[in-house]
Amino acid sequence: MTHTSAAPTDLDRARAKYRAERDKRLDPSRREILDLSAREKLVEDPFTDVAPREPLHDTVDVMVVGGGFGGLLAAAHLRKAGVERIRIVEKGGDVGGVWYWNRYPGAMCDVESYVYLPMLEELDYIPRRRYSYGPEILAHAQRLARHFKLYDHALFHTSVTGLKWQERSARWIVRTDRGDEFQARYVVVAHGSFTSLKLPAIEGIDSFEGALFHTSRWDYDYTGGDSSSPLTGLGDKRVGVIGTGATAVQIVAPLAESAQRLYVFQRTPSTVAVRDNRETDYAWARSLEPGWQKRRRENFTAVTNGERITEDLVGDGWTVFYHAMLSGDEYGALNPQEVAEQRELTDLEHMEHIRARIDEVVRDPATAEALKPYYRYQCKRPCFHDEYLPAFNRPNVELVDTQGEGVRRITPRGVAVGEVEYPLDCIILATGFDQDSAYVDRVGFDVTGRDGLTLSRKWENGPETLHGVMSSGFPNFFLLPPNYTQGTAAVNFCHTLDETAQHVAVLVAEFERRGVIADVTRQGEEAYVRQVTEGSGLALLGGGGFLKDCTPGRWNNEGDPDGRPRKNVNYPGTSTAYFTMLEEWRHRCEFDELSLTPAPKPSPEVSVAKPVDDERSAR
């Protein structure tokens, strides 16, 4: 067992400090975000021109919404299961999802490439570095699409505007913003978590006269350079970055190198631990035994779930913390309260290391102090970087600590904090993504299932699903559940996507084999919803009870963890337990929670020459 050097008195001091830092940020206005519908410029695709094309009126076997890793994996596993006509419909100009959009300088994945990038063995690819940069990840998404021939029917720069189940033909009618109206026998929505931009409703934001963009719509025409070379357009520019989350931590160093002056506007500091990236050792890669990626990925997920395993194969910044946080059993005779205190001490020790690193790296004591995160490690998404902190030693870089208030006012000339106006040529919003609006709003279209039931109405008070993957009244319809949609949230998001994608593909293949339409029964769904809402729904070590004392953020529902809608939860167990539950359920092949009805006889491909109207014309 790891012994901590932090003493209980330190714990009292830390608790008081953490609460004070939380209290000064508890402000309901932090939830206010901009409506982007009238601000198309901010969301349009700066990377690929939209190619004109004729609307489509045909039929596919499966329509997959989203061409990120979720959609690609669903389509790849479906292809492996023998499904032929698969159509990915994607808003961006290519596959890649978050990696298509997030091309900001320095973009990289914080999860080790050998466990993050899917299907490495199958595609015979070894990433160039331990932590891959954005372009390599995007190229891997494209490699997946080529390998499984997923470009064949794909539609890019196309957004679904509505889905409607047609009982007579047992097909989904798909409408898009490009005038398409085609049919699909199955639908998989792999929408992801980082699709809708989150722009804080800052007073005066529309009045700014300089350049302004979100990190996921990087304007290289303005900044010059590319994701890995100097931003040559910024040599005479004063740049402001709003936000200090995982994205900001990656863009600050490249901006610092290129901008004449850089201001980083901080509301809450992130934890920034050692990155230690390195080139791949190809001799090591050649020595890997078949099946290595599955083993490594499962091991990483187990460690970051806090499961007890003898070996930590990845051994990086993520796993070191979870390894130190021992499981309850290892605390021997301690009672639950004592276990909780031991864990808190371990957490404190870890946070002390993170804060000490700032003092070691950042020369100006006031800046160093302002950069220190005062909360428990699991309160916020941890970050890892080796150039972020040193950037604040540069003479052209200034941290503007807003004392927990955040930026509240933008003027035509720049950003105002208190009485000080910071004149800027460019504002970069590193303010993240909306992951909390109603599911249908984030996805951008409604789904009309049986008897005119819409998903927006059914999920008015939160999701109602079986396993986070299917929902009663919506036959042959699947989702790869984003966080808090009754699925799970492994640290390695691609692991979650791959497991749920495999699940969906196995189900579709089985329904095809049986020649049935599959819907969830109300009883089956109610039982699962009861299970997830009555469980804790949080797979955080220590159960997440500490979240109410955290500085506000997404992981604690902006400071109100008990206020999160009751059904917006994850499976009440670790992600490993969730994956096992899915696998055992589908292998039992009993499907008691499903209603399976005979599918209409397969018909040759139907060309829907004119719009298929609603059920009235069908009857």
Least separation in angstroms between residue 24's CB and ligand NAP is 11
Of 521-560, binders to ligand NAP (CB under 6 A) are 553
Environment class of residue 38 by beta-carbon count within 10 Å: exposed (0-12), middle (13-18) or buried (19+)? exposed
381 is a contact residue toward ligand NAP (CB under 6 A): yes
455, 449 Cβ separation under 8 angstroms = yes
243 is a contact residue toward ligand NAP (CB under 6 A): yes
Closest Cα to residue 446, out of 118, 173, 121?
Answer: 173
Q: Tokens at residue 351, please?
A: 């946070």
Least separation in angstroms between residue 573's CB and ligand NAP is 21
Strands 171-176 and 160-166, sheet pairing: antiparallel
Closer residue to ligand NAP in complex, CB, 108/466:
108
57 is a contact residue toward ligand NAP (CB under 6 A): no
Distance of CA 169 to the CA centre of its chain: 35
Least separation in angstroms between residue 433's CB and ligand NAP is 6
Distances in Å between the alpha carbon of 146 and those of 50, 123, 150, 152, 203?
Answer: 21, 10, 6, 9, 46
Closer residue to ligand NAP in complex, CB, 105/449:
105
248 is a contact residue toward ligand NAP (CB under 6 A): yes
**Residues contacting residue 294 through CB under 8 Å, at least 6 positions apart:** none
Least separation in angstroms between residue 267's CB and ligand NAP is 4
Least separation in angstroms between residue 359's CB and ligand NAP is 21
Closer residue to ligand NAP in complex, CB, 242/479:
242
Q: Tokens at residue 424, please?
A: 């800027």
Q: Torsion angle of alpha carbons 542, 545, 547, 550, nearest 10°?
A: -90
Among residues 87, 191, 267, 372, the one that binds ligand NAP under rule CB under 6 A = 267
Of 202-241, binders to ligand NAP (CB under 6 A) are 202
d(CA 464, CA 529) in angstroms, rounded, equals 6
Closer residue to ligand NAP in complex, CB, 252/303:
252
Least separation in angstroms between residue 242's CB and ligand NAP is 5
Please choose, out of 35-43, 176-184, 246-254, 470-478, the segment that lies near ligand NAP by the rule CB under 6 A: 246-254
Q: Could you give the string, one character per residue 420-449, with x where binding to ligand NAP holds by CB under 6 A and - elsewhere?
A: ----------xxxx----------------
34, 146 Cβ separation under 8 angstroms = no
Three-class secondary structure of residue 242 per DSSP = strand
Least separation in angstroms between residue 404's CB and ligand NAP is 7
Closer residue to ligand NAP in complex, CB, 127/432:
432
Residues constituting the chain: 619
Number of C-beta neighbours around residue 527 at 10 A: 13
Least separation in angstroms between residue 13's CB and ligand NAP is 23
Number of C-beta neighbours around residue 84 at 10 A: 12
132 is a contact residue toward ligand NAP (CB under 6 A): no
71 is a contact residue toward ligand NAP (CB under 6 A): no
Determine the size of the site formed for ligand NAP (CB under 6 A).
23
Residues β-bridged to residue 60 = 184
Of 383-422, binders to ligand NAP (CB under 6 A) are 406-407
Please choose, out of 7-15, 65-73, 245-253, 515-523, the segment that lies near ligand NAP by the rule CB under 6 A: 245-253
382 is a contact residue toward ligand NAP (CB under 6 A): no
d(CA 229, CA 387) in angstroms, rounded, equals 15
Distances in Å between the alpha carbon of 248 and those of 6, 147, 215, 459?
Answer: 31, 34, 8, 33
**Residues contacting residue 521 through CB under 8 Å, at least 6 positions apart:** 472, 593, 594, 595
242 is a contact residue toward ligand NAP (CB under 6 A): yes
375 is a contact residue toward ligand NAP (CB under 6 A): no
| H or E element in which residue 367 lies | helix 365-370
Contact residues toward ligand NAP (CB under 6 A) are 109-110, 194, 200, 202, 242-248, 265, 267-268, 381, 406-407, 430-433, 553
